[in-house]
Amino acid sequence: MNTGLVWYRNDLRSQDNISLKKAVEENDRVIAVYFFDPKQFSQTKFGFKKTEKYRAQFLIETVESLSTNLNNINVTLLVFHSEPEKEMSGILNDYEVDTIYLQKEWTNEEVEVLEKVKKSCPANTVWKESYDQFLFHPDDIPFAIDNIPKVFTNFRKKLEKYANVRNTIAIIPLPPQNKIDNPTHIPSLKNLGFQEFEKDNRSAFPYKGGEDQALKRIQHYFWDTKKLSYYKKTRNGLLGVDYSSKLSAWLANGSISPRTIYAEVKKYEQKIHKNESTYWLVFELIWRDFFKYISLKHGNDIFKIGGILKKEYDWQSNPELIQQWINGQTKEPFVNANMIELKETGWMSNRGRQNVASFFAKEQELDWRIGATYFESLLVDYDVHSNYGNWMYVAGVGNDPRDRKFNISSQAERYDPNQKFQNRWLQTTLF
Give the domain ranges of the chain: 3-132, 211-298, 304-426
The pLDDT of residue 400 is: 77
- pLDDT class for 422, splitting at 50, 70, 90? very high
Q: Across the chain, which distance is largest between two alpha carbons, in Å? A: 66
> Which pLDDT tens digit goes with each residue over 314-361?
899 999 999 999 999 999 999 999 999 999 999 999 999 999 999 999
DSSP state of 222: I
Mean pLDDT over the full length of the chain: 96
**Domain 304-426, CATH number (from 1.10.579.10, 3.30.365.10, 1.10.390.10, 3.40.1440.60):** 1.10.579.10
- pLDDT class for 401, splitting at 50, 70, 90? low
SS (H, E, C) 410-422: HHHHHHCCCCHHH
- pLDDT class for 430, splitting at 50, 70, 90? very low
> Which of helix, strand or coil describes residue 148?
coil
> Which of helix, strand or coil describes residue 131?
coil
Backbone angles phi, psi at 336, to 5 degrees: -60, -45
Architecture per CATH, 3-132: 3-Layer(aba) Sandwich (3.40)
**Residues linked to residue 130 through DSSP beta bridges, in sequence order:** 103
> Which pLDDT tens digit goes with each residue over 255-301?
999 999 999 999 999 999 999 999 999 999 999 999 999 999 999 99
By the 10 Å C-beta count (0-12 exposed, 13-18 middle, 19+ buried), 220 is classed as middle
Q: Is the pLDDT of residue 98 over 50?
A: yes
When pLDDT is averaged across residues 103-128 and rounded to a whole number, the result is 97
The pLDDT of residue 429 is: 43
The pLDDT of residue 1 is: 85
SS (H, E, C) 235-289: CCCCCCCCCCCCCHHHHHCCCCCHHHHHHHHHHHHHHCCCCHHHHHHHHHHHHHH
Distance from C-alpha of 338 to C-alpha of 44, rounded to nearest angstrom = 23
- pLDDT class for 403, splitting at 50, 70, 90? confident
State the first-to-last Cα distance of the chain, in angstroms, to the nearest integer.
58
Residues 373, 420 contacting (CB under 8 angstroms):
no
CATH topology assigned to domain 211-298: 1.25.40
Q: Is the pLDDT of residue 208 over 90?
A: yes
Distance from C-alpha of 227 to C-alpha of 131, rounded to nearest angstrom = 31
Q: Is the pLDDT of residue 431 over 50?
A: no
When pLDDT is averaged across residues 80-94 and rounded to a whole number, the result is 97
What share of the chain in percent tops pLDDT 90?
Answer: 96
Q: Is the pLDDT of residue 56 over 60?
A: yes
The pLDDT of residue 404 is: 80
Backbone angles phi, psi at 31, to 5 degrees: -120, 160
- pLDDT class for 428, splitting at 50, 70, 90? low
**Which residues 6+ apart lie within 8 Å of 296 measured at CB?**
106, 138, 145, 148
